[in-house]
Structure formats: C-alpha cells, structure tokens
Amino acid sequence: MAHHVLLLPGDGIGPEIVAQARRVLECLIEHHGLQMTMEEAPFGGAGYDAEGHPLPESTLEKARTADAILLGAVGGPQYDTLDRPLRPERGLLGIRSALGLFANIRPAMLFEELVESSTLKSDVVAGLDIVIVRELTGGMYFGQPRGIETRDDERVGFNTMVYSESEIRRIANAAFDIAEKRGGRVCSVDKANVLECSELWREIVVEEAAKRSSITLEHMYVDNAAMQLIRAPKAFDVIVTENLFGDILSDAASMLSGSIGMLPSASLNEASAGLYEPVHGSAPDIAGQDKANPLATILSSAMMLRYSLGESALADKVEAAVKSVLAKGLRTADIATDNNAIGTRAMGDAVVSELQSIGQ
Ligand code: NAD
C-alpha cells in the first residue's frame, strides 16, 4: 500500500526548503519505486493567515491520518505580536502534543566534506556522530501552573518543570532503543543537584537501564554537559534529556557540525508515526531569497523514510546523494568557504540529479 505523507511548509524559508525535499521524494517515486502520495496543508503563521489558527482543525485531521509529516519551519516577526495562543510556535507545541510526539531525535553528525565549516578544530569534530534524544511533550514547556501575574504590586512570571515516572520511563527506553543500535552508551543529562524533578528523572532512568544489559549509562549535570559537548563531543554516543535542557543542548550540538542548515530531526510517538523537520527555524532574514540550505529538510525526509515508512534502502540513497553533492564541492552560503555558493533550488537540483544517477 502507498504511504501517505503530509507536507507542512510553514513560514519563512519553510516553503522553499520543503519544495526541494518534495522534489527529492518525487524523484524516488519516479525512479526508485517509492509508493507514496503527498499533500500539503497550512500550518504555523501560514495556518493563521489561511484559517485564523496556527494549527487549523483541517490540518490536524490530515496529520492524524498521515503515515508521516514533513515540516519546514514556522514563525516570523509579523506574528510576534499575536496573542500567545495564536502564535506559530503554539502550532508546533499543539501538533506535538496532539500526536503524542514525545521523543525528539536529533543526530549531530559531521559529513567529513564539511569539517572545515565547524568553528571547532577539525580533530575535535571530525567523524562526529552523536544522537540527542530530547523529551518533547513534558517539562517546563507544558507544566502547570504557568503565567504572568501581579504579586505584591509587581508582575511575576512563572513556569513549572514537571515529569511523571511514566514520562521518564518512556523517553529513557526510546533512548535505550536507539543506543542499542549504535554504541550502547547513554548519557542522561539532568540537574539533580538542584532540581527535585531531575532527582526523580535520575532515579527512574537508573531503574530502566538496570533492565538492559546492553546499555552503559552515565549521568551528567546539564551545565557540565554543555561544556563537554564543546570540549570533547565525540565522547558521547546517545544523550537523553528533558525538554528544556534538550532544546538548548541540541542547538549547541548543531554548531559542532558547521551549520544548523545541515541538521535533520525526527519526533516520534509510540506508534512510530512521526513528524520530521530540520532543526533550524524559519530564518526570516533570508526568506524568499533562494539562499536557504535545503539539506537539513532533505535529510529529514531520509529519516522519515527510515523511521516511519520502513524504506531504509531509499533513506540510504538520499543520504548518499547528499554526500556526493558535498563531495563535489557544492555549498549553499551557510556552509560555503569561498564565494561560489549556490542557491536553494540549485542545491535541490544537484541532489535530484545525484539520485537519478544512483543505481535503481
Ligand atoms: P533560525 O534557525 O530561523 O535562524 C538562525 C540563523 O540561522 C539565521 O541567521 C538564519 O538565516 C540561519 N539559518 C537557519 N536555517 C538556515 C538554513 N536552512 N540555511 C541557511 N541559514 C539558515 O532561528 P531564529 O532566527 O532564532 O528564529 C527565526 C524564527 O523561527 C522565529 O520566529 C522562531 O520562533 C522560529 N523558529 C521555528 C522553529 C521551528 O519551526 N521548529 C525552530 C526555531 C525557531
């Protein structure tokens, strides 16, 4: 049966980069026997413009029935003054929550062709291949109570970091599953010396790890983890952490690999239906200028083929095509070291052309 994929281009550079990923998927349909249908729906700021809400009901309905979702990015300065529940980022939180997407998987790897793009010394980052597993539906971003209120004649802002045992067990096991297919080493990142929430996190992660003889578990406080990620990133294999810490650490890890424009991500639920998206945002500063790097989105579509659609061989082909394009020296501006940068569309052309020539 054909897979069905929902495309959510979103805002800013989103439509430009999703268009290139779509061409790559169309090439797989045309030349490599992929059985798949695709449709698009408005989401984020585009959802607000079309239907007055960042996650329109019709988009959510399509998302619920799709086998997987490929998202560009959401947000832009024109939406920053909207009421909070109508802002594009709320659409993102809403879809993650509605689909139960609790596990965010962010590989941080460095294509050897791009070793010079990293701001770190090449011996620190060459061959980097780590995965950050971030809990996505709990913690500070969803915890109640939250708000801004007046206390003693001044305004006070507050949020709550909260995790239940079952939420911790679920994300720990998602990380262990991934680690078992790699080096088997998991570093759980918390702040157990200060936060009770982290104390429970650590206790439950230890309990779950004890059930798996193949897993070597270590713990690190988040401030130390931030340092170690920059000092010796290759020492990690899989990092598992809660929502807020993961948000920050995964962006730091993205810089290890040269450009945020290269990094894909997956968010999975228990049924392994997933939402796939580049790590970066909507980059309003370069939107509509054919400057955005589409490779993170194209690599996200490869993750989608592998994790949600069971098409690992095709995922390998997409990744091989990206690698060949880089080996030929083609670069968008964000990863270029000279003045010969190519545009978004030309990068899409190059990947499609490689895919056409890779054995069918
Ligand atoms: P950003 O990731 O959009 O941009 C940061 C910098 O990286 C910018 O200089 C941008 O030009 C560059 N950049 C990002 N993606 C690139 C690409 N593919 N190719 C080349 N350069 C790229 O982060 P920001 O500026 O903090 O946020 C901009 C908007 O995106 C905000 O509205 C924010 O809320 C939103 N945002 C959305 C998501 C998402 O949709 N998942 C994630 C983060 C930020």
Per-position b or e across 296-329, b if 16+ CB within 10 A of its CB: bbbbbbbbbbbbbbebeebbebbbebbebbbeee
Mutate to test the pocket of ligand 1, among 43, 282, 289, 331 (most ligand atoms within 8 A of CB): 282
Spatial contact of 129 and 181, defined as CB atoms under 8 Å apart? no
pLDDT greater than 80 at residue 320: yes
**Cα angle for residues 48, 264, 310 (degrees, 5° grid):** 100
Nearest to 259 by CA among 326, 178, 324: 326
353 Cα to the center of ligand 1, angstroms: 27
Q: Using 50, 70 and 90 to split pLDDT, how confident is the model at 360?
A: low
Question: Tokens 């597993």 sit at which residue?
Answer: 133
Which residues have any ligand 1 atom within 6 Å of their CB?
13, 73-76, 89, 92, 260-261, 277, 280-286, 292-293, 296, 334
Cα distance between residue 100 and residue 257, in whole Å: 29
Cα distance between residue 119 and residue 125, in whole Å: 9
Inter-residue long-range contacts of 77-82, CB under 8 Å, 24+ positions, other chains counted: 77/284, 78/45, 79/11, 79/45, 79/48, 82/48
What fold does the segment set 119-257 form as a domain?
A: Isopropylmalate Dehydrogenase (3.40.718)
Q: Where are the domains of the chain?
A: 1-107+265-360, 119-257
Based on the residue annotation, tell me whether 141 is a catalytic residue of this protein: yes
Based on the residue annotation, tell me whether 79 is a catalytic residue of this protein: no
Helix or strand run (H / E) with residue 132 = strand 129-135
9 Cα to the center of ligand 1, angstroms: 14
Helix axes 222-231, 243-256, angle to 10 degrees: 10
The amino acid at 117: S
Retrieve residue 152's tokens: 């003693």
Pick 118 or 11 by higher pLDDT.
11
From the candidate CATH numbers 3.30.70.100, 3.40.50.150, 1.10.760.10, 3.40.718.10, the one assigned to the domain spanning 1-107+265-360: 3.40.718.10
Question: What is the reported pTM?
Answer: 0.87
Q: pLDDT digit string (tens) for 266-310?
A: 999 987 789 999 989 999 999 999 999 999 999 999 999 988 999
136 Cα to the center of ligand 1, angstroms: 19
CA atoms within 13 A on the CB side of 289: 11
> Is there a shared CATH topology between the 1-107+265-360 domain and the 119-257 domain?
yes
pLDDT average, residue stretch 225-250:
96
DSSP H helices, the chain, are 14-31, 45-51, 57-65, 88-98, 122-125, 165-180, 196-209, 222-231, 243-256, 295-307, 312-327, 344-357
Sheet of 36-40, strand order: 36-40, 3-10, 68-73, 274-278, 264-268, 103-109, 129-135, 238-241, 185-190, 216-221
Q: pLDDT digit string (tens) for 246-261?
A: 999 988 888 888 778 8
